[in-house]
Structure 1
Amino acid sequence: MSGVFMTFKKWFCLGSLALAGVMGFVSLSAAQDDTSDPYQQIEQVTVELLNTIATHQDGYPENERAYFDGLDALLQDSIDFAFIARNVMGSYHKQATAEQRASFAATFRNGLIETYGRGLIGYENQEIVLVKVQAVPEGQRRLTVKQEIRSTDTVYPLEYSMARKKTGQWMVVNVVINGINLGKTFRNQFVQSAQRAGGDIDQVINGWSSESL
């Protein structure tokens, strides 16, 4: 793995910790429920996320599969894995068959959950600051939730790009950690892998794993 992706993976794990630490830094109007307000939705997910971590932390890594399954069930309604996977494939999405698209979406989701989970399992109450919380205008479909991950000598900026679906549910569609755009990073990785494979999408899918993230 290149140095760029090693650095990216470290920041990705820091971003995972940020989502786990958002609870307690959010203060919202009770007039908005968690399906219409992205900040409150993240707060609700975090309550369940911390419970999942606490349940599996002592027995990890022996219980790793059960832990990943728990995360997957929790995050399926908060992260738009299909949308992100489609963007990661880029121009290859149109070239791919329906079976290849579905296969990559599933493979990408599993890899992301595993990387996310390994970053979260070491959570130790790092200081996370939600930079800005505000009312969401009626009809707004997209927004960015900004946070800072603060240590004694470093501040890592974190941005969640969120989109409101037709159901009214807000979902994460991209993350930028310390200036690194995860969506673009994954897309570049897919393109590079496809070029090395001579355009063989099946080979790219088969070679994609959480270890490459």
Structure 2
Amino acid sequence: MKVTMKSILILVGLIALPLFTIAQSNPENYLDDRAQAMVDVIRSNQSLYASDPEKFKSKINTIFEPMVDFRRVGASVMGKKYYMAASKDQRLRFISAFKKSLLDTYSSTLAQWGDQTIETHFSQKTIFVKTEDVNQSLIASNSIYPITYKVRNDGKGNWLIINIIVNGVNLGLTFRNQF
């Protein structure tokens, strides 16, 4: 039997696909992986925030942006009444402005915490529903800040953030009160 490189790659792909699906189907694993990637960026680019904050933010946003359901969060921040009354163009402009504001706030805040670690509090769950809370602790210097991510499954196996609560401050409500 002749084994080709193509056959080996297909076999490896078939073996790896369920592992990727399992990782994606667990919001705690997914957020832990992304959080550790952000910590790595922060640690390896500590001086970049002072010299080129936009480049630093871009590195964080590359990781963070795909994690957030900006349409849903933007609609929530607008409030149902205003979201429904707005035209499609107004909604898109609002979500775009909100997205920039959230990404800037998030990356700037992370940069200021400096040398930090993020620990995910894994539950014993094996089955997850459509909306879940994922709890983490951001450990900086001598302080611990609790973080709760409200995430939802988009039906394709992806977990997207729909709200963040940091140290008791609900960012969704904070942004809603600003607009």
TM-score range, shorter chain: 0.7 to 0.9
Amino acid at match of 2:101: G
Name the residue aligned to 1:33: 22
Correspondence list, 1:181-200, <5 A? 181-190=170-179
Give the number of the structure with larger relative contact order, counting CA–CA contacts within 8 Å between residues 6 or more apart. 1
Amino acid at match of 2:34: V
Give the superposition deviation at 1:77.
Answer: 1.9
Correspondence list, 1:50-65, <5 A? 50-65=39-54
Whether the 8 Å CA contact 2:46–2:114 is kept in 1: the answer is: no
For residue 88 of structure 1, give the secondary structure of its aligned residue in structure 2.
helix
Q: % of aligned pairs identical?
A: 26
Whether the 8 Å CA contact 1:165–1:171 is kept in 2: the answer is: yes
For residue 105 of structure 1, give the secondary structure of its aligned residue in structure 2.
helix
For residue 23 of structure 2, give the secondary structure of its aligned residue in structure 1.
coil
Can you give the 5+ residue segments of structure 1 that lack an aligned partner in the other structure?
1-29, 191-213
> How many equivalent residue pairs?
160
Task: Normalising by structure 1, report the TM-score.
Answer: 0.64
Matching of residue 134 in structure 1 with residue 146 in structure 2: no
Cα distance per residue 1:173-206 (max 9 Å; x no partner): 111233332212221221xxxxxxxxxxxxxxxx
Matching of residue 43 in structure 1 with residue 32 in structure 2: yes
- What root-mean-square deviation, in Å, do the aligned CA atoms of Structure 1 and Structure 2 show? 2.6
Name the residue aligned to 1:68: 57
Give the superposition deviation at 1:109.
Answer: 0.9
CA distance in structure 2 between the aligned counterparts of 1:153 and 1:120, rounded to whole angstroms: 16
Bigger helix share: 2
Bigger strand share: 2
Larger C-alpha radius of gyration, 1 or 2?
2
Task: Normalising by structure 2, report the TM-score.
Answer: 0.75
Matching of residue 79 in structure 1 with residue 72 in structure 2: no
Name the residue aligned to 1:95: 85
Amino acid at match of 2:162: V
**Which of 144, 169, 182 is matched with 2:158 structurally?**
169
CA distance in structure 2 between the aligned counterparts of 1:60 and 1:131, rounded to whole angstroms: 29
Which stretch of the first structure deviates more once superposed, 161-170 or 144-153?
144-153
CA distance in structure 1 between the aligned counterparts of 2:107 and 2:21, rounded to whole angstroms: 30
CA distance in structure 2 between the aligned counterparts of 1:63 and 1:152, rounded to whole angstroms: 24
Whether the 8 Å CA contact 1:48–1:74 is kept in 2: the answer is: yes
For residue 77 of structure 1, give the secondary structure of its aligned residue in structure 2.
helix
Which stretch of the first structure deviates more once superposed, 103-112 or 114-123?
114-123
CA distance in structure 2 between the aligned counterparts of 1:87 and 1:133, rounded to whole angstroms: 27
